[in-house]
Structure 1
């Protein structure tokens, strides 16, 4: 649940300001916590049947064809977008680590670090299924918590020493810049809440019986995860913005320099984290891609197909990441384009369609929360990609492609 998007939250705060920034993160936490509960409950909505994939639940809620085409493209955008951002994050964090440890190694262009990250993913992508990712996922989870704490503590230390020189206003000075930055920030916050797109696939790995349905242990795990999310997200966003103000980088660890070995270690933790997270988000894409090639193209299942299809996907995300290595813009663009729908309002639509709450019942009361969540999510979906795209365009003006 704690993704690399946490490193972009101080940047989002610098685009929104103190009160709107904290409010955006808090509202997103509440809305996505509620929609996560909805998805976990709906996993076994029909007795004796489990909806192990997000599109399967969409088909049950909205119909065979309509449900599939509502959910599948959105989920794939989340998965592919996450993998592109993690490709950039992995290369960028590894380069920052190298810069802090060795000036000579740090002079190597970022493109080569992204290529190195992609080479490792080519190997890891041959992992058969989600169950095979337990160790990788555990390491990634530990790393995300650790580098979040390091970022917070280092930001506090930096802020104490240099606080008097920091400006805590918003980044832009023109009206247009302020508006577009606000849109981008909403997408950045939405990107940080990305776990919904794989939650059903993860729940499918948990055994389920009539006495102990999978939703019980899954919800226990989700509650614990969201406590960690709150600790990491609020601590990193508040301390990072407090320490650097409106000059904070789109990745707060890039702004931090001292103590060098600790910041280098934190960046290496990010590298390890996104190594695992890339695979968690890519697994659904692999499943969809291979199913299409086998069922629709008549290809034979097996190792050759797996190697070819998965390697092609890794190479594609690497190419896009090398071409557009703009962490802040990518967060805002993909966060608004797809993450807000899969995490904020599609679960709410499915809940209303399947539960059909009666007036004055508990679910009827909860339906108003769903409707509010839908409004919030739709606004982010419309506005955030505009800000994210502008940020990418502005960054591309000074970037030499494939440098």
Structure 2
């Protein structure tokens, strides 16, 4: 009976109308005819932490170094409040028109379609899915850098810090992609919770190691570490123009470090219907953003205290530390494992979008809908869909190939982040809240929401300018990598 229910449930997952009236099966369905959701505050918080805390947390010391002791922590706190506030607005839009009893919207595009409609739906989809694909490519590069850092750390320990110890990223990109091909067969967000929890634990681990090493370095002293209230000093550390561009980039890095709106609705769609999903999601957002802010402030401020104005872009993979080498190795392994989980969190909306579109386009196709049962030793029955297998494998391979062709793609990712941060994290949540709550035009609430929206637009433009300048500089200085083991 259990396997029969599972098989029927998989069918209903693809048929939201849920017209099966069997009482036995109906017990396993939600109000929309889909398989009953089981997500909780814990699983949603894990998804958020996995999505928000990336290895970029270790580069926040560099961002604080550009802004200084006053502006740096202040910008971190401000953007944590902005992100939490707009995430609560978006959480109320999961159901419409009523946030508790209204019709469910399964994706960000569905939410925009229900509340705003028109061309804004296409603009939302463009911003969201371009960003998600970009993140997939960026995570492939970043994970390979962490894997390479393990090999380099051992090389430095064995031969000394003066040795180049260069090695190719390409084999590690292939390893990362191979793992993702396997994990991409996880059907949807509903069955991804265990991976997000593992990834969240890994993010805590490497962030804690980074903070611990930075504290030890700051206490130990030794090097001439110089910090200031305003960050890197014009005429000493950088030129005036460099100071401006670096400030723009630092603000952008901090703003985008909090962005998880691209997957918020998909995360909310995993929650149980009681208590109301919007209340649980707001609680999970608070837990997730509070936790990440604590680690961001620690990594950024303690890292700046340890390295001063010379803070590296990433003090683990960039070798701000060489010893103890085994701890550096463990931290970089944690980064790689975290990115394995984070890749899946950001890919699931892309997988779901394509599979839903294809099912709508060819509703009678057996290739798209048929699930074949496989009896896997030590696991049990697993249902394989060949379309899902082929399409998701192809997606992972394509993103890995792009990562190999454009190893400086992470710099371009900053520009993608700048382009998507404002519409997805600020503009759409505010506009949908105004529409749903029927806030009167030119009322005080309307005015301050619009002021917040315009202020964040300016931040995005500034960050985009910084990203373009940084990308242009990297393209000018880029040289094809040579393997020098």
Q: Does residue 1:384 correspond to 2:463, yes or no? A: yes
Per the normalisation by structure 1, the TM-score is 0.90
**Structure 2 SS opposite 1:252:** coil
Where is the helix percentage greater, Structure 1 or Structure 2? 1
The match for 1:18 among 48, 69, 92 is 69
Instruction: Look up the match of 1:57.
Output: 111
Cα drift, residue 144 of structure 1: 0.9
Instruction: Look up the match of 1:132.
Output: 191
Alpha carbons 1:337, 1:384 under 8 Å: kept: no
The count of corresponding residues between Structure 1 and Structure 2 is: 397
Cα drift, residue 136 of structure 1: 0.6
Residues in 2 aligned to 1:386 and 1:185: alpha-carbon distance in whole angstroms: 12
Q: Does residue 1:253 correspond to 2:304, yes or no? A: no
The match for 1:356 among 438, 445, 458 is 438
1:218–1:136 CA distance, 2 compared to 1 (3 A): same
Instruction: Look up the match of 1:371.
Output: 450
Q: Provide, for residues 257-278 of structure 1, a one-character-per-residue CA deviation record: whole Å limited to 9, x for no partner.
A: 2222212111111111010000
Per the normalisation by structure 2, the TM-score is 0.75
Instruction: Look up the match of 2:133.
Output: 80
Instruction: Look up the match of 1:325.
Output: 407
Q: Does residue 1:301 correspond to 2:368, yes or no? A: yes
Cα drift, residue 160 of structure 1: 2.2
Residues in 1 aligned to 2:469 and 2:223: alpha-carbon distance in whole angstroms: 32
Residues in 2 aligned to 1:164 and 1:331: alpha-carbon distance in whole angstroms: 33
Cα drift, residue 301 of structure 1: 0.9
Alpha carbons 1:118, 1:314 under 8 Å: kept: yes
**Structure 1 SS opposite 2:60:** helix
Residues in 2 aligned to 1:66 and 1:84: alpha-carbon distance in whole angstroms: 28
Alpha carbons 2:403, 2:409 under 8 Å: kept: no
Instruction: Look up the match of 2:285.
Output: 222
Cα drift, residue 119 of structure 1: 1.8
Residues in 2 aligned to 1:89 and 1:72: alpha-carbon distance in whole angstroms: 25
Alpha carbons 1:52, 1:201 under 8 Å: kept: yes
Q: Provide, for residues 321-378 of structure 1, a one-character-per-residue CA deviation record: whole Å limited to 9, x for no partner.
A: 2334348734532331213431233211211122122599xxx665455323312321
Instruction: Look up the match of 1:178.
Output: 243
More displaced stretch, 276-285 vs 48-57: 48-57
Alpha carbons 2:259, 2:421 under 8 Å: kept: yes
Superposition RMSD in Å: 2.6
Residues in 1 aligned to 2:395 and 2:176: alpha-carbon distance in whole angstroms: 14
**Structure 1 SS opposite 2:197:** helix
Q: Provide, for residues 94-124 of structure 1, a one-character-per-residue CA deviation record: whole Å limited to 9, x for no partner.
A: 1112222356996531222222212211221
1:48–1:353 CA distance, 2 compared to 1 (3 A): closer
**Structure 2 SS opposite 1:24:** helix
Instruction: Look up the match of 1:66.
Output: 119
Residues in 1 aligned to 2:269 and 2:327: alpha-carbon distance in whole angstroms: 38
Alpha carbons 1:332, 1:387 under 8 Å: kept: no
Instruction: Look up the match of 2:178.
Output: 119
**Structure 1 spans left out of the alignment, 5+ residues:** none
Cα drift, residue 55 of structure 1: 0.7
Q: Provide, for residues 203-227 of structure 1, a one-character-per-residue CA deviation record: whole Å limited to 9, x for no partner.
A: 1111214xx2112222222221122
Alpha carbons 1:147, 1:266 under 8 Å: kept: yes
More displaced stretch, 237-246 vs 1-10: 1-10
Residues in 2 aligned to 1:19 and 1:86: alpha-carbon distance in whole angstroms: 31
Alpha carbons 1:190, 1:340 under 8 Å: kept: no
Cα drift, residue 198 of structure 1: 0.9
Q: Does residue 1:264 correspond to 2:307, yes or no? A: no
Alpha carbons 2:95, 2:103 under 8 Å: kept: yes
**Structure 2 spans left out of the alignment, 5+ residues:** 1-48, 160-164, 370-384
Residues in 2 aligned to 1:155 and 1:179: alpha-carbon distance in whole angstroms: 27
1:226–1:79 CA distance, 2 compared to 1 (3 A): same
Instruction: Look up the match of 1:91.
Output: 144
Residues in 2 aligned to 1:267 and 1:345: alpha-carbon distance in whole angstroms: 36
* Larger of the two Rg values belongs to structure: 2
